[in-house]
Structure 1
Amino acid sequence: MPHRGCVVVANHSSHADTAALLAALGARHRPAIGAAADYWFASPWRRRVCRVLAAGFPVRRTGGGMDDLMSMADGLRAGRAVVLFPEGTRAADGAVGAFHRGALVLAERAGVPVVPVGITGTDRLLPKHGRLRPSLVRVRIGEPLPPSATPEDARAAVAALHARTGTEPPRDSPVRRRVAAVAASRWGLPLAVAWACAEALSWPLMPELLLGIVCVALPRAAPRLSLAALAGSLAGGLLALQLANTGHQLPAPLTTDRMRVEVRHQLAAESASAVRHQPWNGIPFKVYAAEAGRAAVPAGDWLAESARARGARTLTVGAAFGTLGLLLHRFRLYYGVYVALLGAGFAAGLSIIVVGWS
């Protein structure tokens, strides 16, 4: 970017272009974004969003637009950057369309350079009339053009930068793709329910391990998978309580007598509310459920208290792993390494808990 004021011209395929440009240009030039008056200033809430978040100013597309642009000439001479999309609208096919002359006339009259910018990836991040989804976005800033540059010169420079930035998505892990496919399929929710239900009965692997695997692979599925795991955990806990209450004892691998003694003491003192300790002390949920059944804790009280305790933990863990999946989107090629580290960390943590309660 030049040190003085300039007119920035970029290709336009998505509403996300503005955010990408603001992130790339920085604040030194106090960039102002030219926005279509008939769209972004047509309603009070859009006008507030445009002015507050993007320092937007209105540009009429049906007459009077040149006067709107010329009003920014003094700001340009004072060192500001004015960002314009000379195509006038979002392109639906990703190609760089013809440029209107207003941006170039403004640069010539203010005597400031024209900075071409090529943007790729925003059409996948937020397609025209589509929904937001993860995508790698690249912004390439080109060499400044003189104030006398023509619309054809600016368009050619932007098109060359757009082609150089590349459109290939980040490399992906085949393991992540398979896990994401299962999570998104009709088997995803039943798997989460069954895993969590089995863990509340006897299965030694807690549902948070499953959430750590699937929510990072498919972050948008994190809310529904977390709710499914919570539902399975509550159903399994209620079933375990009823079985223990009728004298049935299920296998409980990787649990210890000391865990059971501690839970009995807590239940004797606090009844169903003792389950609030479970998310923090490392004792498996199935131990609490079985001992609550032997202590004849009322099923309704147990369900309410376990929903509060398990819900806080399961939904928080699911949200955390979903957020981690979004943050690590660019590194999804290494998803297999992540799963291996997650498994190793879980095994180490489980061993420490079991030894600590032995």
Structure 2
Amino acid sequence: MTDCTARIGSSKVGSWGRHLLWRGVWDILGGVTITGPRPVGPAILVANHSSHADTPALLAAMPPSSRPAVVAAADYWFDKPFNRAVVSSIVPALPVRRHEHGAYEGLRAAVAPVLERGGVVVIFPEGTRSTSDKIGGFAPGAVRLADEFDVPLIPCAILGTRDVLPKSGSLRKGPTEVRFGHAFNSDGLAADRLGALMASKLLREEVEHMRDRAPMAAPVSRTWQAVDNLNGSPFGPIGAFAWGLGDALILPAPAEVELAAFAGTRPKWVVPQALAVAAGSTAGVAVHVALARRGIKFPLLLTTRRMRAAAAGHLAVNEWGLRHQMFNGIPVKVYADEAAKTKMPLRKIVGAAAVGRGTKILAFGAVGTGVSWWSHPAARRLWGPWMIATGIGWALNQRHRHNRWS
């Protein structure tokens, strides 16, 4: 059982699968904030232990390349068939007997294959979950292993898991933070029993210091942070203007997608970017018409003949036929292309585009501001999935629109 579990736990496929699984779970539960240098194997990682949620939090936080495996109490997790089935499928567990003669030899045999493959072995030196804020004493096994296998020790502090899943309690939502410390050389720490005990005491104090040095941070995804930084820079409105411009020329994704996927990281960004998108879209109509009348044609990607015929019919009377674009789903570039075939003055076409596109995009921006206010706490940790969902939503809408106008 030990050899098999170690092999599975340290595999690349298993590491990636469990990492993605637990990241998804924590995104739903309240998010996990990760600070400090990410662990690199081979190494022994030691952490405080206050909840069964500690292991999932670590698997969500640790890079899959570290191929983590977690030392687990065999008497708790592997003697009962149900517990064994659960832990064997979703946790890379290394079963070890805690209170028997030869426990250290069993621990050494369990971790050896993982360390030899360059993985990170996770150990909770307290040996059991604490029920208070006090971190229990650290057993010297982790220090002895690190010294014997000549691998570094990595201290780690886990915050918030006891509130998510307290001992003898039920699961509830809440944020979590995993703080990784700097790895340090373990050579000679366990030269004798007293040295191993002293090193374990210092290791416990380091984990406690890491845990208590600052309040737990609110979970923020790296995707949200990157997009928010972009929105706060000059590239935010410039990018929004460029997207609007491209929408009226050639882009298959409408300008509204920019607002949905990028602008809403903070409510204050939405309306300014909506103005930039509307200005870009209006400018794009002007450029499209002017160039088309000079023989420079743009490919009308993802459009149909019926769309072009409908736009031509709407513009047959006057430039205000462009207002139909606000509701019918036909891309504005189709109206710009058809407007170029008429004898309407460019200024009138641009004026109608400014009113029509401005009204639609600003209305979308107003709704987006409200959605951003409402979803802001969750959006800070779920922006990556939100962007993916926006892309999928656009693709489904594009398919529906294409079928409708085919």
TM-score (structure 2 length as normaliser): 0.46
Cα distance in structure 2, aligned partners of 1:187 and 1:341: 24
Contact 2:288/2:337 (8 A) holds in 1: yes
- Moved segments of 4+, more than 6 Å: none
Contact 1:245/1:296 (8 A) holds in 2: no
Deviation track 1:75-122 (CA, whole Å, cap 9, x = no partner) reads xxxxxxxxxxxxxxxxxxxxxxxxxxxxxxxxxxxxxxxxxxxxxxxx
Cα distance in structure 2, aligned partners of 1:293 and 1:340: 36
Match of 2:281 in 1: 233
Q: Secondary structure at the match of 1:253?
A: coil
- Which amino acid in structure 2 is aligned with residue 338 of structure 1? W
Q: 1:220: how far off?
A: 1.0
Aligned 1:263-278 pairs, distance under 5 A: 263-268=311-316, 270-278=317-325
Cα distance in structure 2, aligned partners of 1:272 and 1:167: 59
Contact 2:279/2:358 (8 A) holds in 1: no
Aligned 1:11-30 pairs, distance under 5 A: none
Deviation track 1:17-71 (CA, whole Å, cap 9, x = no partner) reads xxxxxxxxxxxxxxxxxxxxxxxxxxxxxxxxxxxxxxxxxxxxxxxxxxxxxxx
Aligned 1:1-358 pairs, distance under 5 A: 168-268=216-316, 270-331=317-378, 332-358=380-406
Cα distance in structure 2, aligned partners of 1:347 and 1:246: 33
Q: 1:194: how far off?
A: 0.9
Deviation track 1:269-313 (CA, whole Å, cap 9, x = no partner) reads x32001100011011000001110111221111111111111111
Cα distance in structure 2, aligned partners of 1:312 and 1:260: 22
Q: 1:257: how far off?
A: 1.1
Cα distance in structure 1, aligned partners of 2:395 and 2:294: 33
Contact 2:252/2:302 (8 A) holds in 1: yes
Contact 1:215/1:325 (8 A) holds in 2: no
- Which amino acid in structure 2 is aligned with residue 330 of structure 1? P
Contact 1:272/1:301 (8 A) holds in 2: yes
Contact 2:323/2:356 (8 A) holds in 1: yes
Q: 1:266: how far off?
A: 1.3
RMSD in angstroms over aligned alpha carbons? Answer: 1.7
Q: Specify whether residues 339 and 232 from structure 1 end up closer, same or farther in structure 2 by C-alpha distance, changes over 3 A only.
A: same
Q: 1:248: how far off?
A: 2.3
Cα distance in structure 2, aligned partners of 1:285 and 1:312: 13
Q: Which runs of 5+ in 2 are unaligned?
A: 1-174, 176-213
Q: Specify whether residues 169 and 329 from structure 1 end up closer, same or farther in structure 2 by C-alpha distance, changes over 3 A only.
A: farther
Q: 1:258: how far off?
A: 1.2
How many residue pairs align between the two structures?
A: 193
Contact 2:266/2:376 (8 A) holds in 1: no
Percent identical among aligned pairs is 31
Q: Secondary structure at the match of 2:393?
A: helix
- Which amino acid in structure 1 is aligned with residue 256 of structure 2? E
Contact 2:319/2:349 (8 A) holds in 1: yes
Contact 1:202/1:286 (8 A) holds in 2: yes
Cα distance in structure 2, aligned partners of 1:168 and 1:325: 24
TM-score (structure 1 length as normaliser): 0.52
Q: 1:169: how far off?
A: 4.8
Contact 1:202/1:251 (8 A) holds in 2: yes
Q: Specify whether residues 330 and 252 from structure 1 end up closer, same or farther in structure 2 by C-alpha distance, changes over 3 A only.
A: same
Cα distance in structure 2, aligned partners of 1:236 and 1:337: 30
